[in-house]
Chains A and B, each alone.
Chain A
Amino acid sequence: MIDPVEAAVMPTEDRRETGSTGPGPRDEGVGSERAGGSRRSLTRAVPVAPAPARSDAPAVAPTSPRPRQDNPVLEAELDRRRTVGPEIHDAAPTGDIRTMWEEHLLNLRLVNPANRRRFKVIVVGTGLAGAGAAATLSELGYQVEAFPLHDAPRRAHSVAAQGGINAAKAYKADGDSVDRLFRDTVKGGDFRAREADVHRLSEMSVRVIDHMTALGVPFAREYGGQIATRSFGGVQVSRTFYARGQTGQQLQIAGSQQLLKEVGAGRLKLHTRQEMLDLIVADGRAVGIVARDMVTGDIVPHTAHAVVLATGGYGNVYFKSTLAKSSNVTATWRAHQRGAMFANPCMIQFHPTSLPLTSEWQSKLTLMSESLRNDGRVWVPREPGDDRAPEDIPEEDRDYYLERMSPSFGNLAPRDISSRAAKIQLDAGKGVGPLRNGVYLDFRDAIARLGRKTMEERYGNLLELYTDATGEDPYTSPMRIAPGPPFAMGGLWTDYNQMSNLPGLFVGGEASFNYHGANRLGANSLLSASVDGWFVLPWTVADYVAPLLGTDPVPHDHPAVTQAVAEARGRVEHLLGIGGTTGPDVYHKQLGELLTDHVGVERHAEGLAKGADAIKELKDDFWSNLRVVGHGQQLNQELERAGRLADYLELAELMALDALDRDESAGAHFRSEHQTEDGEALRDDERWTSTSAWEAAPPDGVPIRRSEPLTFDAVPLATRSYK
């Protein structure tokens, strides 16, 4: 339900703003900005030096300055694995961030309503972002063809988001505003997101709530009839809109109904159970897709004036993830292979409260809302290998490690920090449960304090879900939880128009990269998908297609089309023809283990290099020893899994490489060699205030890493601290 914490912004910062903390080096910086009349300086922010300059409040333990030296061993290792390409500039307009989107809209080209039917747009994926874009473009009059993987648009993984959706409505007199949501998101992302895009996200959040309410989303209400909001732990305002613990489902249902409205009216063509296998690029532009009909097995091209990918995130690469089983990276990865840049692949968020595995056959991790941490206390036995039942472990033999490590936030420490702390305990052999892979989340004290009834009211459905899953009663013995990957901050690189570097290829929602930086703020995933789909893509797609008036989509006998189809068919035949002995799921589990070990909650250079090599070996084994039962001209779920895994194996290699290349810690990307003395992430703003955007390796070459430098004018660079 509530996703309380990971939204946590820096308490030290907020205290600084209210002027309650003592002076520090950083305070002077802020003071001078304020003296300038605006918090936002118009000049480009000078990256501040690392640790010492950023310890801005007494609550932050002073960190010793670490002289940074280039690591020649690492450099050599990296040079073997990648090359560095030119920097990326001008991805977003310049000017005042507060009026940028409005001004930008004025500069976008328009298409006359009578001409819109002459343009065809393909939308791949009909989750929150895809359904919004497809329905809106269709309403406007464009010919839209939508391609969900599912049998019905309502089933996209957007349905699984529980907690809510942020919006800067400021319905409470608590000081919230568009700028505050913007600032919280930038900080929450540990200063690795693009400011301009994040500001637009915050601005449009207001429209999203209006729109969704009009579509019939039953947002929770107060007795007076106003829309209720709740707060997230750590964030000091109440801005999360929710529909019980099913917010994502309700938004997705509203979106898919709008999509079906267009289908019913005969304006939009919906192709269900279609999997995009390739992107068609002709003369440097994205002009269509190759899709496989998952029921008949037919592989055919579809061409259009523009292609929108809203195909979700790639967290499922870990196999044991909280994502839906069919979530995959194939659409975006194929686009990457055709020239689109892939940004920040190493940025994966781990959710600290998923259920640990209980059996070897458990197929996925179930996410439990973080709201549980409001009343639950997290602990492990003090001694490794303590086999006593949790009730029998006396107080003095328990280690409430989150409360110990982070006294002010305690059990509500943000996602990345909680996940990492749990991993430290598991690595020390203090894990609990039959597989020793979880930590306890204990409601004993809360039940004693508030009574069982209150707990049932607050968390009834979640605790039931836990009982369903484990057969244990969380009211009498503590729950077991463990970190699991739910969200990918990385994705295809896009400019301010949500267009990739391939003209005509638009990306929205989790499939793109631009809002969340190195760590996503809770309840911002539904927001980013909604904003992209309903309130950005319909405008920017029009801008792109406008000058193409009078042209037809590329004919199906164009060499680029026939070649893409032949290659897609060839890949499927290749997968079917390997003739090995091992099914795709076996490889997927192995890949997941490799990633969890080497590119997981905590990474380090040596492990990443080793991991990348191991993934490559696994990939070679996959291509020589895979078995896909059945044939291609039928509904063949083994074949689908094999195809997706083939792309996951390549992505995994790039994830390891990106994590190795980004020689700093930032948000969810925690490199153990870069931490403060207190074990917190230590950014390297001098070298890494940038997005890494990867170009696919040329034949016989290595991937090319390009950088988009980021500037933080409106929100000055600062250190997160949750002590």
Chain B
Amino acid sequence: MRLILEVWRQADATSPGRFERYEVDGVTDEVSMLELLDMLNAQLVAEGREAVAFDHDCREGICGSCGLMVNGQPHGPQDYTPACLQRVRTFSDGDVVTLEPWRAGAFPVVRDLVVDRSALDRIIASGGYISTATNAAPEALTQPVNKHQAEAAMDHAACIGCGACVAACPNGAAQLFTGAKVAHLAELPQGQVERYERVRSVVATMESEFGSCTNYGECVPACPAGIELDVIAHLNRDFRKAVVIERRGEVPQRTDVPWLARLRGGPWWQSDPGDAGDHTER
């Protein structure tokens, strides 16, 4: 079939971008969204024109590199599927297909369809881990983990970090991504020690970089890893607990996590520590 592509072209982060129209002929059903771009690029290179830049790597749905809006939908028309595994089958001859970079304020365009998703890494760097020095781990079996909890942790840990949740969100919020990490580590006994410092810290980073969640739920069908909305509930629950625990002074004043140290400057919930007493749920 022949497809007409409307592709976002932008030379770099500072230049203005625009849509350009191309035609690709001879597209067969098995071609993936990314291979469609390969076909276009082969054509452009043969004509001596600049190829469309796009992020991609493993092409089997696990690395999370690829990310493009296809007709306004993150990764393409198929739910729960990354662009690299979506085929053009659903299009018909002569269709116009619009390809854009992730739409989110937190992901500035680097070039064409490539965006900068380092904000997601800053969330992780601010606490999305379990601090364990190499060689310090005890024998793995000393801490049994309930099978259901291990499975739940795996469900949340499946996130591939592509950023589709943010791109799908009308608010550009990263709650699904952050919630998945918080829920993953909170399900495991190893993650308990730093549980509440972690959630305070990653939420602070998330809020400084991304929009706010208003429970649209658009992120869920966009997620190629099948992360579910309950991770956001988990995130909110742990966050509230963390605030309460912190006001009671039960969280150690950690100095080695810069984000936490910055928080001590006094965000809104610390403005009136006197009302902490009512919230006693643990």
* Chain B CB within 8 A of A648 CB: no
Stretch from B98-106, B140-148, B212-220, B268-276 that touches the partner: B140-148
> For the side of the interface on B, what is the size category?
35 or more
Please determine whether B121 and A260 come into contact, CB atoms closer than 8 angstroms.
Answer: yes
* Contacting residues, chain A, for B160 (C-beta < 8 A): 159, 249
* Chain A CB within 8 A of B97 CB: no
Contacts known (A154-B64, A359-B30); A260 close to B48, Cβ less than 8 A: no
The 6 closest A-B pairs by CB, nearest first: A225-B144, A264-B125, A214-B137, A257-B129, A583-B45, A218-B153
Given A169-B140, A210-B140, A221-B146; 11 other pairs, CB 8 A cutoff: A151-B65, A159-B63, A160-B58, A213-B140, A243-B154, A263-B125, A264-B259, A469-B87, A470-B30, A538-B134, A634-B11
Please determine whether B110 and A260 come into contact, CB atoms closer than 8 angstroms.
Answer: no
Please determine whether A171 and B30 come into contact, CB atoms closer than 8 angstroms.
Answer: no
Report A's interface with B, CB cutoff 8 A.
132, 135-136, 139, 150-157, 159-160, 169, 171, 207, 209-211, 213-216, 218-227, 243-244, 246, 248-250, 253, 256-258, 260-261, 263-266, 272, 295, 324-326, 358-359, 361-364, 366-367, 465, 468-471, 534-535, 538, 581, 583, 585-586, 627, 629-630, 634-638
Please determine whether A325 and B44 come into contact, CB atoms closer than 8 angstroms.
Answer: no
Q: Which of B30, B46, B157, B257 contacts A218 (CB 8 A)?
A: B157
Please encode chain B, from 97 to 134, with 1 for each CB lying within 8 Å of some chain A CB and 0 for all others: 00000000000001100101110111011111111111
Stretch from B34-42, B166-174, B235-243, B244-252 that touches the partner: B34-42
Contact count A vs B, C-beta below 8 Å: 236
Residue of B nearest to A635 (CB): B111
Give the distance in Å from the alpha carbon of A361 to the alpha carbon of B144 in the complex.
48
Please determine whether A135 and B134 come into contact, CB atoms closer than 8 angstroms.
Answer: yes
Please determine whether A157 and B63 come into contact, CB atoms closer than 8 angstroms.
Answer: yes
24 cross-chain CB contacts under 8 A: A139-B134, A155-B64, A156-B63, A159-B62, A159-B160, A160-B58, A160-B62, A218-B154, A219-B140, A227-B140, A243-B157, A358-B30, A359-B28, A359-B35, A361-B28, A361-B35, A362-B35, A363-B32, A364-B60, A538-B134, A581-B46, A629-B44, A635-B12, A635-B110
Give the distance in Å from the alpha carbon of A634 to the alpha carbon of B128 in the complex.
32
Contacts known (A210-B137, A635-B114, A638-B45); A226 close to B144, Cβ less than 8 A: yes
Please determine whether A218 and B259 come into contact, CB atoms closer than 8 angstroms.
Answer: no
Q: Which of B89, B128, B130 contacts A260 (CB 8 A)?
A: B128
Please determine whether A257 and B57 come into contact, CB atoms closer than 8 angstroms.
Answer: no
* Chain A CB within 8 A of B278 CB: no
Please determine whether B150 and A221 come into contact, CB atoms closer than 8 angstroms.
Answer: yes
* Contacting residues, chain A, for B135 (C-beta < 8 A): 207, 211, 535
Please determine whether B137 and A634 come into contact, CB atoms closer than 8 angstroms.
Answer: no
Residue of B nearest to A244 (CB): B154
* Contacting residues, chain B, for A581 (C-beta < 8 A): 46
Residue of A nearest to B12 (CB): A634
Please encode chain B, from 211 to 229, with 1 for each CB lying within 8 Å of some chain A CB and 0 for all others: 0000000000000000000
Shortest distance between the CB of A261 and any CB in chain B (Å): 5
Point out which of A256, A295, A325 has the most chain B C-beta atoms below 10 A from its C-beta. A325
* Contacting residues, chain A, for B63 (C-beta < 8 A): 155-157, 159-160, 324
* Chain A CB within 8 A of B77 CB: no
Contacts known (A362-B30, A635-B53); A210 close to B134, Cβ less than 8 A: no
Give the distance in Å from the alpha carbon of A244 to the alpha carbon of B157 in the complex.
11
Q: Which of A154, A243, A265 contacts B256 (CB 8 A)?
A: A265
Give the distance in Å from the alpha carbon of A324 to the alpha carbon of B62 in the complex.
10
* Contacting residues, chain B, for A250 (C-beta < 8 A): 154, 157
Give the distance in Å from the alpha carbon of A471 to the alpha carbon of B89 in the complex.
9
Give the distance in Å from the alpha carbon of A366 to the alpha carbon of B117 in the complex.
26
Q: Which of B31, B48, B124 contacts A257 (CB 8 A)?
A: B124
Please determine whether B56 and A325 come into contact, CB atoms closer than 8 angstroms.
Answer: yes
* Contacting residues, chain A, for B153 (C-beta < 8 A): 216, 218
Please determine whether A257 and B128 come into contact, CB atoms closer than 8 angstroms.
Answer: yes
* Contacting residues, chain A, for B140 (C-beta < 8 A): 169, 209-210, 213-214, 219, 227
Q: Which of A155, A213, A468, A534 contacts B190 (CB 8 A)?
A: A213
Contacts known (A226-B144, A362-B35, A637-B51); A246 close to B150, Cβ less than 8 A: no
Please determine whether B51 and A629 come into contact, CB atoms closer than 8 angstroms.
Answer: yes
Shortest distance between the CB of B68 and any CB in chain A (Å): 14
Shortest distance between the CB of A212 and any CB in chain B (Å): 8
Contacts known (A136-B134, A629-B44); A326 close to B35, Cβ less than 8 A: no
Please determine whether B42 and A585 come into contact, CB atoms closer than 8 angstroms.
Answer: yes
Report B's interface with A, CB cutoff 8 A.
11-12, 28-32, 34-35, 38-39, 41-42, 44-46, 48-51, 53, 55-65, 81, 85-87, 89, 110-111, 114, 116-118, 120-122, 124-141, 143-147, 150-151, 153-154, 157-158, 160-161, 184-185, 187-188, 190-191, 256-259
* Contacting residues, chain A, for B48 (C-beta < 8 A): 627, 629
Residue of A nearest to B159 (CB): A253
Please determine whether B188 and A218 come into contact, CB atoms closer than 8 angstroms.
Answer: yes
Please determine whether A150 and B57 come into contact, CB atoms closer than 8 angstroms.
Answer: yes
* Contacting residues, chain A, for B111 (C-beta < 8 A): 295, 634-635
Please determine whether B185 and A216 come into contact, CB atoms closer than 8 angstroms.
Answer: yes
Residue of B nearest to A214 (CB): B137
Contacts known (A136-B134, A227-B141); A471 close to B87, Cβ less than 8 A: yes
Please determine whether A361 and B38 come into contact, CB atoms closer than 8 angstroms.
Answer: yes
Please determine whether B134 and A535 come into contact, CB atoms closer than 8 angstroms.
Answer: yes
Shortest distance between the CB of A198 and any CB in chain B (Å): 21
Give the distance in Å from the alpha carbon of A327 to the alpha carbon of B262 in the complex.
39
Q: Which of A132, A226, A535 contacts B141 (CB 8 A)?
A: A226
Contacts known (A157-B63, A216-B184, A629-B49); A264 close to B137, Cβ less than 8 A: no
Give the distance in Å from the alpha carbon of A438 to the alpha carbon of B102 in the complex.
37
* Contacting residues, chain B, for A222 (C-beta < 8 A): 147
Give the distance in Å from the alpha carbon of A638 to the alpha carbon of B49 in the complex.
11
Residue of B nearest to A256 (CB): B124
Please determine whether A583 and B145 come into contact, CB atoms closer than 8 angstroms.
Answer: no
Please determine whether A210 and B184 come into contact, CB atoms closer than 8 angstroms.
Answer: no
Please determine whether B57 and A219 come into contact, CB atoms closer than 8 angstroms.
Answer: no
Please determine whether A638 and B51 come into contact, CB atoms closer than 8 angstroms.
Answer: yes
Please determine whether A246 and B134 come into contact, CB atoms closer than 8 angstroms.
Answer: no
* Contacting residues, chain A, for B30 (C-beta < 8 A): 358-359, 362, 469-471
Give the distance in Å from the alpha carbon of A629 to the alpha carbon of B53 in the complex.
12
* Contacting residues, chain A, for B133 (C-beta < 8 A): 139
Contacts known (A157-B58, A223-B147); A583 close to B85, Cβ less than 8 A: no
Contacts known (A260-B124, A468-B81); A216 close to B55, Cβ less than 8 A: no
Please determine whether A630 and B125 come into contact, CB atoms closer than 8 angstroms.
Answer: no
Give the distance in Å from the alpha carbon of A258 to the alpha carbon of B81 in the complex.
28
* Contacting residues, chain A, for B117 (C-beta < 8 A): 151-152
Give the distance in Å from the alpha carbon of A101 to the alpha carbon of B184 in the complex.
36
Residue of A nearest to B61 (CB): A465
Please determine whether B120 and A246 come into contact, CB atoms closer than 8 angstroms.
Answer: no
Shortest distance between the CB of B205 and any CB in chain A (Å): 9
Point out which of A221, A266, A470 has the most chain B C-beta atoms below 10 A from its C-beta. A221
Contacts known (A207-B137, A635-B114); A220 close to B35, Cβ less than 8 A: no
* Contacting residues, chain A, for B151 (C-beta < 8 A): 218, 221
Please determine whether B39 and A361 come into contact, CB atoms closer than 8 angstroms.
Answer: yes
Please determine whether B130 and A264 come into contact, CB atoms closer than 8 angstroms.
Answer: no
* Contacting residues, chain B, for A629 (C-beta < 8 A): 44-45, 48-51
* Contacting residues, chain A, for B38 (C-beta < 8 A): 361, 363, 585
Give the distance in Å from the alpha carbon of A258 to the alpha carbon of B29 in the complex.
42
